[in-house]
Homo-oligomer: A and B are copies of this chain.
Amino acid sequence: MPLTEDQLAEIEAARANPQPTLRAVAPGMEQHLYTAVPVLDHGFVRVIDYMGDDAAIVQAARVSYGAGTKKARDDSGLIRYLMRHWHSTPFEMCEIKLHVKLPVFVARQWIRHRTANVNEYSARYSILDREFYIPEPDALAAQSTVNNQGRGELLQGAEAARVLEILKSDAGRAYDHYEEMLSQEGQQGLARELARMNLPANIYTQWYWKVDLHNLFHFLRLRADEHAQYEIRVYAQAIAEMVKDWVPAAYGAFEDYRVGGVALSAKGVEVLKRRLAGEAVTQENSGMSKGEWREFEEVFG
């Protein structure tokens, strides 16, 4: 269970105490505030704060004085226009702050998104908890045989059992030794900043992560995608569900233009035009490489 009784009590207390504000309020997001959405076996995502809503995007795009008298439908049309034409700055006017608990190897992938603010729990200063990510059987996949950085079939039987056994026992032993090295009973006790080096990449860490909506959409496009590693994808999907409630119009545009959309190359446009004109185009006369053609066919058959 990701949270202790005390932590849950603190969250309850924070949620029990609404205060008046004059700022833009997104009712769909208020319902999520502070509550922890469980992800993986010990992780979670929870919203600590947010700034802005759909109307704030429109207001910034218009550099206007107030919420204005435009209808929500006009706002939605403008938001779709902005998304379609890559006008990214109005989306930067919304901001979200998350508290995330996640395995270190997921954190290492996540942090590659540099346009964000981060405060991570320090293992130089504090002692990490004994919590490790151990995959569920349905996440225990073999190396893909067609994709160097993907997964293939699920591991079966004895092999699956053996892998789980290794992950659990190695993590447990590493943590026992971590504590043993840190211990100051009858010995000096190794510095925390050194002892941590014995911990494996599936140990959980946590951080506060703050990002604007434009950069969050970029993160979600890459990390909620089916090609992303499962263990980061589930975090991205949990966040996407919150964003949908926070800025429904912007999220709708994002789904249509980014998630469900396709970036066609000049060659791809040409092939489609030829096919629309009745020509039977093949990879050989398409000008595309085999890899490109395969990706093209996955979409258009």
B265 touches A84 (CB 8 A): yes
Determine the distance from Cα of A57 to Cα of B34 in the docked complex, in whole angstroms. 16
A272 lies within 8 A of chain B by Cβ:
yes
A163 adjacent to chain B (CB < 8 Å): yes
Q: How does the 8 Å CB contact mask read for A133-165 relative to B, with 1 for contact and 0 for none?
A: 101000111111000111111011001000100
Q: In the complex, A52 Cα to B19 Cα: how many Å?
A: 14
**A47-70 residues at the B interface, CB under 8 angstroms:** 48-52, 56, 59-61, 63, 65-68
From 253 to 279 in chain A, residues with beta carbon under 8 angstroms from any chain B beta carbon are 255-257, 259-269, 272-273, 275-276
Copies in the complex: 4
Answer whether residue A222 sits at the interface, using C-beta atoms and an 8 A cutoff.
yes
- Which of A59, A148, A191 has the most chain B CB within a 10 Å cutoff? A191
Interface string of A98-134 (1 = CB under 8 A from B): 0100011100100110110111111011000000010
CB-based contact B86/A189 at 8 Å: no
CA distance A6 to B65 in the complex (A): 9
**Contact with A191, one of B151, B200, B264 (Cβ below 8 angstroms):** B151
- When distances are taken between beta carbons in the complex, the residues of chain B under 8 Å from A187 are 159
In the bound complex, CA of A61 to CA of B34 (Å) = 17
Q: Which residues of B contact A245 (CB under 8 A)?
A: none
- Residues of B near A144 (CB, < 8 A) are 191
Chain A 27-77 interface residues, beta-carbon cutoff 8 Å to B: 30, 33-34, 48-52, 56, 59-61, 63, 65-68, 77
How far does the alpha carbon of A81 sit from the alpha carbon of B148 in the complex, in Å?
Answer: 14
**Once the chains bind, are B257 and A265 in contact (CB under 8 Å)?**
yes
Given A149-B124, A229-B124, do A65 and B33 touch, yes or no (CB 8 Å)? no
Taking a contact as CB atoms under 8 Å apart, the answer to whether B93 and A119 are in contact is: yes
Residues of B with C-beta under 8 A to A188: 142-143, 152-153, 155-156, 159
- Considering only CB atoms and an 8 Å cut-off, how many residues of chain A contact the other chain? 138
**From B66, B141, B256, contact of A7 by CB (8 A):** B66
Residues in B neighbouring A299, C-beta threshold 8 A: 269
The chain A residues found within 8 Å of chain B, CB to CB, are 3, 6-7, 10-11, 13-15, 17-25, 30, 33-34, 48-52, 56, 59-61, 63, 65-68, 77, 80-81, 84, 86, 89-90, 92-93, 95, 97, 99, 103-105, 108, 111-112, 114-115, 117-122, 124-125, 133, 135, 139-144, 148-153, 155-156, 159, 163, 166-167, 170-171, 173-174, 177, 180-182, 184, 187-194, 196-202, 206-208, 210, 212, 222, 229, 255-257, 259-269, 272-273, 275-276, 289, 291-292, 295, 299-301
8 A–B pairs (Cβ distance < 8 Å), ordered by A: A11-B65, A50-B51, A63-B119, A80-B292, A152-B191, A155-B190, A257-B266, A272-B276
